[in-house]
Each structure stands twice: as structure tokens, then as C-alpha cells.
Amino acid sequence: MNSALTIARKEFVAALRSLSTYIIFTIFLVISGILFSMTVFKIGKAELRFLFELIHYTYLFYIPAITMGSLAREKSGGTLELLMTLPLRTGQIVAGKFIAALLLLVTVILCTLVFFGIILWYGFGIDYGAIMSGYLGILMAGGAYIAIGIFASSIQQDQVLAFILAFVISAFFCLSTVILPLLPVAVASVFQFISFGYHLDSFYKGVLDSRDILWFLSITAGFLLMAEFNLKLRNRAQER
């Protein structure tokens, strides 16, 4: 576990030193800021549900952008060869990348607390429980998207392709609610269960349902395991 933290620390520091991180940060915050200020007065309610939904949609671009390089860059630069010869388990490499991306996500979500502050300042009758569980929900969904992004990055050497693949898989989970009305009822219920929006809904309401939590955790674990498997498979490395 220690080694995973060492990798995470190195990744996080490298991200903070890189200009592209700040560009992605800024774009994310500007977009969510604009959308927030456009909608907050229309709705006129002291809740953050719409903010969470909007953060959820920006994830589609933001998370593939921060995870696209995680393993793809190590592969194209050859540094994966070095990592695989260190006394590390493949799982620790993947875990390190995951923790680093999650930390970046937490950082940027902390920046959105400004919106929460605005609501807090001007709003009345705020449901603190719903806001807390909403934040937990988007963090868990974020974790699942990060796992998807790392999986995509483990398949591709090219960062752009990794981004596109992560985007497509994420879009499936994010947008499958959109096509629900077009589907027959039997299939619709399956798609509804798969979609992240459905599971996030109860978080927004302030309900912590173990089914939703387990759903996000299993998606996260599943994609991380697939990423690990991929690294072993692709490198034909000695089992460790």
C-alpha cells in the first residue's frame, strides 16, 4: 500500500506542476460557474441538486482529461517497463494512479464549495444532509469515472485515443437515462439501473442507499481490476 501512496504522491505533485492540469481545472470551474450562475436564479431554491447534476455532466470531459495520461503516458514513454521491474505489484501501480486522480478530483470539487457558500449566504431552509450526501454521491461517481478513465488509459498508448475511449464508456453510464423514453419497458429498467444518474438521484435527495453505494464501488473496483489485468496481459509480465 505504501508504494501505491508513493506513486500517487508523485503523480499528484507532477499534476500540480503541469500547466495542463490548471487549464483543465480552469475550464471545469468556468463552465460550472457559468452554468451555476445561469440556473441558480431561475430555480430560486436553496439547494445544490442542479449543481451536482451539472458537475456530473462536466465529469464527461474533465475526468477523461485527467486520467487519459495515467497509464498511456507510462506506456508510450517506456517508464512502465521500469515500474514493472521495481518491487511493486501491478495492482499498486493502478491504485497509485487512482488515488492521485481522486485527489485531483477532490481538489477541484473543493473549489466548487464557493457555490455552496453562495447558497449558504443567500438561501433559507437549506437541507444540509442532502448537500452532504450529494457531495458524497458525486465523489463516488467521480471515482467510478476515474476507474473507467484508467481502464481506457491501460488499453491505449495514445492519450487522445484513451480520452475518446474513456469518454465513450463514461457517456454510456452518464447518458443512458437520456435514451430511456425510446426503449421498451423491459430493457428500460435495465438501462435505468445501469445509469449513474439514477443512482445519484437518491444521493441528491439525501438518501444513502447501500445499493447505490455498492453500485459505484463495484463499477470502480471492476474497471480498476480490468486495468490491472490489461497491464499484466499486455506486458506478458511475470505474475506478481
Partner 1 sequence: MISIENLSKTFGDIRAVDNASFTIRRGEIVGFLGPNGAGKTTTLRMVTGLLQPTAGNILINDIPLQDDPLAAARIIGYLPEQNPLYNDMLVYDYLKYVATLREVRKGDFINRLDFVVQKCGLFEVLAQPIGTLSKGYRQRTGLAQAIIHDPEVLLLDEPTSGLDPNQIIDVRQLIREMGNAKTVVLSSHILQEVQALCDRIIIINRGKIIADAIKDDLPALLESRMRVTIEIEGGEMELEPFLIDYPDAVLAEIEPQDQSVLYTFTITEEAEFKRRFAQYAMQKQRLIVGMKTHSLSLEDVFHRLTSPILDEDNLMPDSNVVQHSDAAEPQDKETRDE
Stretch of 23-31, 85-93, 104-112, 142-150 contacting partner 1, by CB under 8 A: 85-93
Work out whether 1 is an interface residue with partner 1 (CB under 8 A).
Answer: no
Residue showing cell 455552496 = 116
DSSP string over 44-76: --S--HHHHHHHHHHHHHHHHHHHTHHHHHHHH
Work out whether 85 is an interface residue with partner 1 (CB under 8 A).
Answer: yes
Q: How many residues bind partner 1 (CB under 8 A)?
A: 26
Work out whether 103 is an interface residue with partner 1 (CB under 8 A).
Answer: no
Helix, strand, or coil here: 206? coil
Stretch of 7-15, 132-140, 205-213, 222-230 contacting partner 1, by CB under 8 A: 7-15
49 alpha carbon, distance to own chain's centre: 18
Q: Is there a contact between 146 and 158 (Cβ–Cβ < 8 Å)?
A: no
Q: How far is the CB of 75 from partner 1 (least distance, A)?
A: 10
**Cα–Cα distances in angstroms (integers) from residue 90 to residues 36, 64, 81, in the given order:** 41, 21, 12
**Identity of the residue numbered 229:** F
Burial class, 144, CB count within 10 angstroms (exposed 0-12 / middle 13-18 / buried 19+): buried
Work out whether 79 is an interface residue with partner 1 (CB under 8 A).
Answer: yes
Burial class, 222, CB count within 10 angstroms (exposed 0-12 / middle 13-18 / buried 19+): middle
Work out whether 239 is an interface residue with partner 1 (CB under 8 A).
Answer: yes
Work out whether 44 is an interface residue with partner 1 (CB under 8 A).
Answer: no
Nearer to partner 1, 72 or 141 (CB): 72
Work out whether 20 is an interface residue with partner 1 (CB under 8 A).
Answer: no
Closest to 108 in 3D by CA, of 83, 145, 160 = 145
Work out whether 189 is an interface residue with partner 1 (CB under 8 A).
Answer: no
Stretch of 50-58, 75-83, 123-131, 154-162 contacting partner 1, by CB under 8 A: 75-83
Nearer to partner 1, 98 or 135 (CB): 98
DSSP, res 195 = -
Stretch of 54-62, 71-79, 182-190, 217-225 contacting partner 1, by CB under 8 A: 71-79
Work out whether 233 is an interface residue with partner 1 (CB under 8 A).
Answer: no
Q: Which residues bind partner 1 (CB under 8 A)?
A: 3, 6-7, 10, 14, 17-18, 77-89, 235-240
